[in-house]
Structure 1
């Protein structure tokens, strides 16, 4: 594959409208004003060393700090910076989708703006792409920079989804390279709004490869993921890729049937032997078990109904309030 000359046209000057960069890099960002400039400079330096034309697309997911102001300033200085700002916080999955839709490159790299995904891995991603891989996953080899709680949450989350969703997400991350063919499939052929990017990138198939990396310390700021946010993402991921939770309802029904058979047999034996059947305590215990199983079953079914409801409403996945560096207005849904 012939490599193109590095593109850096100076402050304020835009590339020609028909010019297509070889590599697009998408950076979802939420309250990353402290470190976004450093991230742009670091990633651009790595791509220059690779000798490729490139663009960096920052998707500001409704930040409350000066993240987008920093992106606007960077876009005035460097022609390879483009930015989108959401009207509010729509979540990382929406930011990734917006970046993929806006990307023009023959290959698209998604990477976190806090530099915990080390840009030094990008040459390995490009090498495997040139060798024929359509999807290249950067897989976490070492999470020593995470807290023990964060490592435990990630292990439980990835383990559950790998087991029930039948896709291998052990140590998976959103740090990936996608060929243009894979990007087009993700944005055109998969219309669902409740998305789970790292799972979909595996689900689509094509020739895939992986590169291990060590999670780096944050360049600036603090982590943005809350426990509730992770639970919401895990719920979306599991419901999107497997119907296994619905089978739990059937399992609970079978457990209830077995429990009822045991209690009924005990009562029948007591009646035949002329003994008093177990009384109030047994009845109370039975009602509590049945009530718990019923509520759990309703909750599982309700989650699936809620996801169906969200899809049927057809609301936009995100809304773009501002953009910078685009010749035309970027997609708003």
Structure 2
């Protein structure tokens, strides 16, 4: 792979980053100037109410590598990343934060892994400077809970800072999910993945936009998108309630069954029956939910030995989804 032929896209979601966006642009422009690859910097203004968009627009006018997508309102961090991925044209795409907490100095290590054959290279944090003890605990707990209750082999202690090959990005574009959880989606599509470790920097300018409410909502979106546990939980609790009721009835039979004891048994048993019924309904509901998301049944990384006619028959129709540029012309 010739480095001079590689074209990379760097996707940066932005929300009210006026205080530090100029420095971010300068740092990234200096990084690009010292690299052999060609780059495009795609900033997604997610409904900022400050001068972030104005500053990026000024940079775009003097540097053709700087591009700006302006969303009509604040749609959220994950939607902003999704928009950036759909506009990216690079052979590989890097997603990073606008506050330089994800240092561009890590990108060359990601590129080296990519050239070695890996299609997803995510940044794994060995430290989180500037984060409170509560934030670190919440983040560490979420990743471990998410991995335990889903069938997704999601990496621990990672965020959205990662490099993805264009083949991975192409698969992500097919997934039109209203509440995307990019980290989970990248793990779900598979491909050859690895990590590079780095120390997350402390924010130098501006304030963090990642509030606890937003972090909680992101965690809920991730769990409900990839796990049936919340819907199956009533069935498990119902089964436990029925067992407690039966155990109580057996114990009462030896000590003397009274009307009150029978009513206690009936309460536990009927409550358990209702919860089990809800759990069964939830299992069916999750199947409907999965079907509604219209994720592909599987993702093909490579196929060999087939004729071109067979390949065209086997290729999903979703491969031909229009790109943003095509949609603009329609």
Q: What is the TM-score of this pair, normalised by structure 1?
A: 0.78
Q: Distance in 2 between matches of 1:43 and 1:235?
A: 33
Residue 283 to residue 133, structure 1, CA distance change in 2 (3 Å): closer
- Runs of 4+ in structure 1 off by over 4 angstroms are 276-287, 289-294, 296-312, 327-332
Q: Residue 186 of structure 2 is aligned with which of 201, 205, 229?
A: 201
Q: Which residue of structure 1 lines up, in the alignment, with residue 29 of structure 2?
A: 44
Distance 2:326 2:47 in 1: 18
1:169 aligns with 2:155: yes
Structure-2 residue corresponding to 1:3: 3
Cα deviation, residue 144, structure 1: 3.8
Matched, 1:228 2:213: yes
SS of 2:44's equivalent in the other structure is strand
Cα contact 1:111–1:175 (8 A) shared by 2: yes
Could you list the per-position Cα deviations for residues 46-67 of structure 1 after superposition, in whole angstroms to 9, with x for gaps in the alignment? 2322222111000011111111
Structure 2 distance, partners of 1:170, 1:292, is 37
Give the aligned length: 299
Q: Relative to structure 1, is the Cα distance of residues 175 and 149 closer, same or farther in structure 2, using a 3 angstrom cutoff?
A: same
Deviation at 1:291, TM superposition (A): 12
Do structure 1's residue 55 and structure 2's residue 40 form an aligned pair? yes
Q: CA deviation at 1:221?
A: 1.1
Task: State the 1:185 CA deviation.
Answer: 1.1
Q: Is the 8 A contact 1:270 1:277 kept in 2?
A: no
Kindly indicate whether residue 130 of structure 2 is the aligned counterpart of residue 156 of structure 1: no
Q: 1:120 to 1:133 in 2, by over 3 A?
A: same
Aligned pairs (5 A) from 1:161-310:
161-166=146-151, 167-188=153-174, 190-271=175-256, 278=260
* Distance (whole Å) between structure 2 residues aligned to residue 261 and residue 79 of structure 1: 73
Aligned CA distance change for structure 1 residues 264 and 134 (closer, same or farther; 3 Å): same
Partners of 1:234 and 1:304 lie apart in 2 by 18
Structure 1 residues 293, 331: closer, same or farther in 2, change over 3 A? farther
Residue of structure 1 equivalent to 2:74: 89
Aligned partner of 2:108 among 123, 129, 132: 123
Partner of 1:101: 86
The residue matched to 2:93 in structure 1 has which SS? strand
- Kindly report the root-mean-square deviation, in angstroms, between the aligned alpha carbons of the 2 structures: 3.4
**TM-superposed deviation, 1:245:** 2.6
Q: CA separation in 1, counterparts of 2:52 and 2:281?
A: 39
Indicate conservation of the 8 Å contact 1:24/1:103, yes or no: yes
**CA distance, structure 2, for counterparts of residue 299 and residue 228 of structure 1:** 30
Question: Distance in 1 between the 2:22 and 2:262 partners?
Answer: 69
Structure 1 residue 302 displacement after superposition: 12
**Which protein, 1 or 2, shows the higher relative CO under an 8 Å CA cutoff with sep ≥ 6?**
1
**CA distance 1:64–1:129, change in 2 (3 Å):** same
Distance in 2 between residues matched to 1:156 and 1:299, nearest whole Å: 29
* Aligned-residue offset at 1:194: 2.3
Cα distance in structure 1, aligned partners of 2:163 and 2:132: 27
Higher mean alpha-carbon deviation, 111-120 vs 136-145, is at 136-145
CA distance in 1, matches of 2:75, 2:285: 20
Q: 8 Å contact 1:194–1:307 — kept in the other structure? A: no
3-state SS in 1 of match to 2:18: coil
SS of 1:163's equivalent?
helix
Q: Within 2, Cα distance between the matches of 1:330 and 1:26?
A: 20
